[in-house]
Amino acid sequence: MARHEHAPRPELPERYDLIEQIGIGGRGRVWAAVDYLTMTSVAVKVPRIEKIAAVDRRAFEREAKIVASLRHDNIVHVVDANTSGTEFDPYLTTELIYGETLAHTMRWRGAMAAGQAASVGAQLTDALTAVHQAGYAHRDVKPENAVASHGDGEVKLIDFGLAAPTNAPDGRPFAGTNGYYAPETAKAYLLSEIEGLEVGTPLPSPASDIYAAGLVVHEMTTGKHIFDAGLQGILQQARGQVPPLSQIRSDVPRSLDKLIRHMTAHDPKDRPTAAEASDGLREIAAEHRDARGGTVIPVQGLDRRQGPEVALPPTPAQEPPAPRASTGGLSPVSEVEKHRSAPALPNRESAASNQVRHQSSQGPARPQNHAAADPARKQPGQGRALRKELGP
C-alpha cells in the first residue's frame, strides 16, 4: 500500500477478504478484495471513514442505486451494496476489471487506428444508451472512466459518482471534468463562477454525455487532448472549438470526421442520441477495421495544464507499465501505483494497476470532477470581456 496514506480497514461482512487499498479519491477509498461468497476478485468502494457526513452518505447511496440499476455488458457490474451504515460501514462492490483505461492507452500507446477508435466509441455509446434509457446522465464521460479489458478488449463505462436523473436539478450544476464540458455547461460556468451572474444552469442531459463521448473518440483517434485545463480551455469549450479530425490526421475516414462533428455540435439539439452515435460508429468500425487490431500511429500526448501548444516528452521507448485490475471506477481515484504487481488473487491472473489518473503516468494533474477546482477566479474587468467574448 506504499504511497497511499494509511487507511483504516473498513468494517465489512465476513464474505470479503480485503487484499489492499488500490485507490483513493476525495470521498472514497477502493480496495481489492476476495468475495468468498462468489469466489471472485472484486473491487470494494467505501467512503473515507474520517469524512462520512449525511450529505456524503446520501451521495454514496445515490451512486449505489444508479449503478446497481444498470445492466449492460459495457457498464461495470455491481456485485453487492449496503449503504445503511448500521451493521457495517457503507460499501459498494463491483467486478474487478482486468484492463486499462483509455487514458492509459492514449498516454502509453498513442493514437488508435480509426477503425479501432470507432469500435471503442461504439461500445462507449452503447453503454450511454443504456444509461440514458434508464433516465440518467453519466456527467463524467472521459478516457479515465472507460476501461478496456485485456482479454477481449471489451470497453466498460465506470465511475457513476456524478450520475444523476436527467432534466432535474441535483445541486451539482457544474459536475464533470474540466476538458470534457459541453459548451452549454462551460458557458454557464464562466458566467456564473467567473462573472458572478445569476444564470440558469444546464440540467443533467444526455446531450452533454454525447458531446464528451465525441471528445473521447476524437482524442483516441488523434492521441491528443483537445482542451487545456485553464481559463482559455474553458473559453474554447464554451465556444465549442473542436478541431475537425481531418485537420489533425489526413487519413481519417470522412464518415468518422463527420460523425464526430455531429457529436460535438455546439447546439445540444444538433447532437445525435447515444443509439444513433453507436450505430454510426459501429458501421465505421466494420468498414475500417485494422487487421492488426492495435494502435498504429504513435503520437505524443499533450499537457492540458499548459495548453495545446506544449508537448510532453516523447513517449518512453520501454514497454509501458502493465495496467492492473481496475477498481471499477466508482469514484475519482488518484495517485494509484502503476509500477508494482497486484496481489495474487484466487483464480485470477495478477496484473499491474490500470488506474492511471490525474497524477500518475498521464502527466500533470488537472482539476478533477468539478469546475469548482477553479482554474481561474474572477479578475477586475474580466466579466465585461467574457460577456463580449461569449456573446448572447
pLDDT digits (tens, 9 = 90+) for 255-284: 999 999 999 999 999 999 999 999 999 999
Q: Are 298 and 314 in contact (CB under 8 A)?
A: no
The secondary structure of residue 10, as a DSSP letter, is P
Q: Give yes or no for residue 335 having a pLDDT over 90.
A: no
- Higher pLDDT: 138 or 168? It is 138
Among 266, 130, 133, residue whose Cα is nearest residue 187: 266
**Residue 290, burial from CB neighbour count under 10 angstroms (0-12, 13-18, 19+):** middle
Residue 184: predicted pLDDT: 92
Strand 325-326 and strand 78-82: the pairing is unpaired
* Domains in the chain: boundaries: 102-141+180-321+372-390
Q: Are 239 and 213 in contact (CB under 8 A)?
A: no
Summary mean pLDDT of the chain? 75
CATH architecture of 102-141+180-321+372-390: Orthogonal Bundle (1.10)
Q: Are 116 and 295 in contact (CB under 8 A)?
A: yes
Residue 388: predicted pLDDT: 60
Q: Give yes or no for residue 292 having a pLDDT over 50.
A: no
Q: Give yes or no for residue 373 having a pLDDT over 50.
A: no
Residue type for position 268: P
Q: Give yes or no for residue 158 having a pLDDT over 80.
A: yes
Most confidently modeled range among 33-42, 319-328, 356-365: 33-42
Straight-line distance from the first to the last Cα atom of the chain, in angstroms, rounded to the nearest whole number: 52
Residue 375: predicted pLDDT: 42
Q: Give yes or no for residue 132 having a pLDDT over 90.
A: yes
- For 293-362, the DSSP string reads -S--B----B-TTT-TT-BPPPPPSSPPPPP-EE----S--BS---SSBPPPBTTB---B-----SSSTT
Secondary structure (3-state) at 63: helix
- Higher pLDDT: 275 or 79? It is 275
DSSP E strands, the chain: 16-24, 28-35, 40-47, 78-82, 91-95, 97-101, 136-137, 146-149, 155-157, 164-165, 325-326
The angle, 0 to 180 degrees and rounded to 10, between the axes of the packed helices 114-133 and 206-222 is: 160
Task: Name the pTM for this structure.
Answer: 0.75
Q: Are 196 and 386 in contact (CB under 8 A)?
A: no
At 212, is the pLDDT very low, low, confident or very high (cuts 50, 70, 90)?
very high
Average pLDDT estimate for 35-59: 79
Secondary structure (3-state) at 149: strand
Q: Burial letters for 343-365: b for 16+ Cβ neighbours within 10 Å, e otherwise?
A: eebeeeeebbbbbbbbebbbbeb
